[in-house]
């Protein structure tokens, strides 16, 4: 384990990992720098039972969680929810039924293998409010349990469910326009 080669060997992978989760280039760069500083400071505690990159990504995950926790506490979640209230009117009638049912995907498994799909999904996630984007990434892309998300971010289970529901509505709309509208999901 040579700290002098960390940036060259692991910098790009760490940056891509951070960018996928925070959706902000400057924050991703800062997180990678903080990760390298923390690793350098604590390198004597690394037992080398895992690969160096795995250890660095573990540090980066904690930095991302710390950043998200700070962001969650800086602005009330209720403001994010209130700003998205119009979504329900766009999708559901007064009886709670779909105004326009979701578009059918002919072959969703094939879409998941398509690089262009992932680019569009990434763009759609970037247009979400930051908190919603982070929650979606944790839950759906990183497969973190609801219990762990609620504990880490100090959310109630109900609040998390509402935020994920609204996030999925927005992503559905974006994917229908930019993916299914291009016949990419066929």
Range of the domain at 69: 3-74
Q: Which residues contact 183 (CB under 8 A, 6 or more apart)?
A: none
Query: Any bridge partners for residue 92, and if so which?
Result: 98
Please count the structural domains in the chain. Answer: 2
CATH code, 131: 1.10.10.10
112-153 pLDDT, tens digit per residue, is 666 788 888 888 988 888 778 888 888 887 788 999 988 888
151 and 166 housed in the same domain: yes
Report the pLDDT averaged over residues 32-49: 88
86 and 139 housed in the same domain: yes
**Helix (H/G/I), strand (E/B), else coil: 16:** helix
Domain ends where: 43, 74, 105? 74
61-90 pLDDT, tens digit per residue, is 989 888 877 776 665 554 544 555 555 666
């Amino acid at each position: 384990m040579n700290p002098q080669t960390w940036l060259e060997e692991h910098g790009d992978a760490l940056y891509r990992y951070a960018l996928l989760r925070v959706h902000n280039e400057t924050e991703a760069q800062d997180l990678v720098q903080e990760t390298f500083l923390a690793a350098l400071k604590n390198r004597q505690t690394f037992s080398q039972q895992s690969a160096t990159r795995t250890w660095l990504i573990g540090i980066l995950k904690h930095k991302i969680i710390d950043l998200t926790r700070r962001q969650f506490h800086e602005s009330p979640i209720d403001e994010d929810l209130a700003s998205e209230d119009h979504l329900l009117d766009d999708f559901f009638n007064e009886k709670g039924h779909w105004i326009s049912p979701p578009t059918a995907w002919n072959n969703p498994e094939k879409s998941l293998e398509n690089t262009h799909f992932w680019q569009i999904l990434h763009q759609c996630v970037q247009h979400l409010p930051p908190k919603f984007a982070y929650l979606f990434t944790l839950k759906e892309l990183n497969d973190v349990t609801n219990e762990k998300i609620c504990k880490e971010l100090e959310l109630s289970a109900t609040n998390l469910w509402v935020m994920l529901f609204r996030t999925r509505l927005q992503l559905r709309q974006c994917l229908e326009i930019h993916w299914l509208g291009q016949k990419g999901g066929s």
